[in-house]
Amino acid sequence: MSRPRVITVCNQKGGVGKTTTAVSLGAALAERGLRVLLVDCDPQGNATSGLGVRPADLSNSIYDVIVLGQPLLEVAVKIGEVPGLTLVPSNVSLAGSELELAELPLRESRLKLALDGLEDYDYVLLDTPPSLGLLTVNCLVAADSLLIPLQCEYYALEGLSLLTQTQALVRQSLNPALTLAGIVLTLFDPRTILSSQVVSEVRRRFGDQAFTTVIPRSVRLSEAPSHGLPITLYEPAGRAAAAYRALADELLARTAPVAA
């Protein structure tokens, strides 16, 4: 008997390809025949719209699950274009939830409680907001593993120490089993020396904690969300889609469903 592997895709810095990674990795895992649940925990709802679901049209969202206690699967939406991929969507109603959560019992564990007993999936991916507030803490408490997207730019490493400190605090007090699934380098531009320097520095500092796969900077990857499609469908033969498929294979080699 096993339960899904829960992975939080997290970086408090915006613009690092976090949501793109959550959506594209989820689609690539589903392509492999795995059952994937993507939970959009960002009030901006970018993972939701990126899979063709209009946040403004939702009657229920992850807000109803985390704050109001509605069963998670009652909110889930199957993504018809990607067999095997299911979305728990988000919208602007989540924006004020940090204040509401602060007043609720078990405020750091609301998402974990919602995921308990879930058996119909192989992987659960949690897309987090670009901050280290209570929503992100809920994702870290609910997760088995943390996946950190890190862009190949000058300030890439500055926020990483804060995130790893937060991981350590969560491990110490709330989720001692939380591990690092890996660091994935994103927005790599082979035309610049800086991108290669960042890759080298990350590999020097973190060794095999960094995935071998590097996600390239790609116009098509930027366009895909506006069409409501993951890159694996928007440009299935492109280099960005190939990179996310390779990342999915690496993740599968590093992780597995968890014994219940």
Q: For position 1, what pLDDT does the model report? A: 56
Q: Which two tokens stand for residue 102?
A: 């602060």
Q: For position 256, what pLDDT does the model report? A: 66
For residue 24, the domain's CATH number is 3.40.50.300
CA dihedral 53, 58, 60, 61 (to 10 degrees): 40
Count of domains for the chain: 1
Q: Which two tokens stand for residue 148?
A: 């950190």
The answer, as to whether pTM is greater than 0.75, is yes
> Cα separation of 97 and 82, whole Å?
30
Residue 114 DSSP label: H
- Closest alpha carbon to 37 in 152, 121, 129, 107: 121
Using CB atoms within 10 A of its CB, is residue 94 exposed (0-12), middle (13-18) or buried (19+)?
A: buried
Q: For position 98, what pLDDT does the model report? A: 86
Which of left, alpha, beta for 84 (phi over 0: left; psi -120 to 50: alpha)? left
Q: For position 161, what pLDDT does the model report? A: 77
Range of the domain at 108: 2-259
Could you tell me the mean pLDDT of each successive run of 10 residues in the chain, 260 residues long?
88 89 97 97 94 90 95 95 96 88 90 93 95 91 95 80 83 92 93 90 91 95 95 97 98 76
> Cα separation of 160 and 89, whole Å?
27
Q: For position 164, what pLDDT does the model report? A: 81
The one-letter code for the residue type at 4 is: P
Q: Which two tokens stand for residue 138?
A: 């809920």
